[in-house]
Amino acid sequence: MTTQSANPDLYFSTARKLRAKFDAREISSVEATRVMLDRVSTLEPILNSFITVTPERAIADAEAADQRLQGSGQETTALTGVPVMVKDNFSTEGVETTAASKILKGYVPPYDGTAVSNLKEAGAVILGKGNLDEFAMGSSNETSAFGPVRNPWDRERVPGGSSGGASAAVAAGEVFVAFGSDTGGSIRQPAALCGVVGMKPTYGLVSRFGLLAFGSSLDQIGPLTRSVADCADSLNIISSHDHRDSTSVAAPFDDFAVDIDKGVSGMNIGVPKEYLVDGIEPGVRAAFEESLKTLEDQGAKISETSLPLTDHALAVYYIIAPSEASANLSRYDGVKYGLGELNASTSAQATEAARGAGFGDEVKRRIFLGTYALSAGYYDAFYKKAQQVRTLIRREFNEAFQQFDALVTPTSPSTAFKIGDKVDDPFQMYMNDVCTIPVNIAGLPSISVPGGMSDGLPVGLQFIGPQFGDTAVIRAAAAYERATIWHQNHPLI
């Protein structure tokens, strides 16, 4: 489906190109924001990318950004005046934050999370809050209490998850940059299925303060963009040391784009054979093999390697993540905020009723799994053993990076699948993250870039780096992007 547009080139511009237009006085932030809000109004009945749109706030922020851009004395940044989205599990002062769950209906945070504060300080224009799988638990954006997001490449297909609203909005030209969270692939997998760039930074580089927690040792905030350069610029803004997050580290980079133009010539890039799983689609495999040739043509040295513990990563993840979720979600009792059941005679009955009505099936499933794994008599057999294997997985990655500058894999074993195809089969749904989950377990940086097409649908290519090797994966991804045309493809919507 196509829609008529007064400014189609603007919809699919990069943030860097838009900033250049601001500097050249070709367009103002207010004008760009109004265009994008009109776009959102047109497409939302089709895509359902947003849970909440905040047009009045956005216009006010755009007016303030124009003052900065016109030399008011405030420093400008790469995102000053640029319309963006944040996922609806980011705390936003004065704006309802639901994590796509009924249990948080009506919850309006009194504060901004650190990533949101950094965006506001940078002058970014936040158009609203992105749809997601409930509490970020899912790989298709079908578990949202607000309905599924539809992939702009094919409205009968999922956009991936859990940051499905963010990936669909960037792909469809509703925003220039979106910010999501990645616990087991929730930025990179939807980026792959929607044909955009998505990055999970090294764990600890972006503060999790204000992010509604799923798995605290796994969650990380990152950007979804239309170019690798925009990704680096966005990371420069949201990365900061924060004393309110005990896992936050002092940013080791002045500029994530420092090596972006160096190319891959001379880089040793490994191809872990375990990531080419049996269930990988033929079109995805073919695109991946073609991508390896492209990297070799650019001067990279490509070698096969083995990470045998990869086969255990999925099992480890689905013990650790639900365990942490069961602890984190215990705070949602339907009383302190959000959904309340006032007809119960006791507080225990009120909590039980609120959780029964407020949590969706997938969230309940993971709470049950996590509670079981942490229960007396099973803790050592499940959770403790999973943490031990996690240590071995980290060690295996560390050994691989003694030999390689980066690793390259498919991002997802499949392209976007039909809505409803896997929602009743948790195992098949969980397998969608088989290529992304090991990165979260080890706390490593990873980026997905458009890596080809298969039957008219985007395919993602994933680069993985060592801890604090964020500039290395950005360097490799940017070189691949320059050598290919896939990032120039956009859905006809």
| Catalytic sites, residue numbers | 87, 162, 186
CA angle 263, 223, 234 (to 5 degrees): 70
Residue type (1 letter), 394: R
Handedness of CA 277, 283, 284, 290 (dihedral sign): positive
**Distance from chain centroid for Cα 78:** 20
145-181 burial: b if 16+ Cβ within 10 Å, else e: bbebbbbbbbeebbbbbbbbbbbbbbbbbbbbbbbbb
CB 358 within 8 A of CB 338: yes
In the block, tokens 């749904």 appear at 429
Q: Give the total residue count for the chain.
A: 493
Q: Beta strand 268-272 with 406-410: parallel, antiparallel or unpaired?
A: parallel
Q: CB under 8 Å to 315, separation ≥6 — which residues?
A: 386
CB 319 within 8 A of CB 326: no
For 327, what's the count of Cα atoms within 13 Å in the CB-facing half-sphere?
A: 12
In the block, tokens 């509703």 appear at 174
**Distance from chain centroid for Cα 3:** 27
Q: CB under 8 Å to 442, separation ≥6 — which residues?
A: 390, 393, 394, 397, 467
Task: Return d(Cα 105, Cα 66) in angstroms, integer.
Answer: 34
Q: What is the 3-state secondary structure (H, E, C) of 86-138?
A: EECCECCCCCCCCCCCHHHCCCCCCCCCHHHHHHHHHCCEEEEEECCCHHHCC
**Nearest Cα to 449, choosing from 409, 477, 415?**
477
Cβ neighbours of 424 (radius 10 Å): 8
Distances (CA, A) of 446 to 112, 245, 440, 472: 26, 21, 9, 10
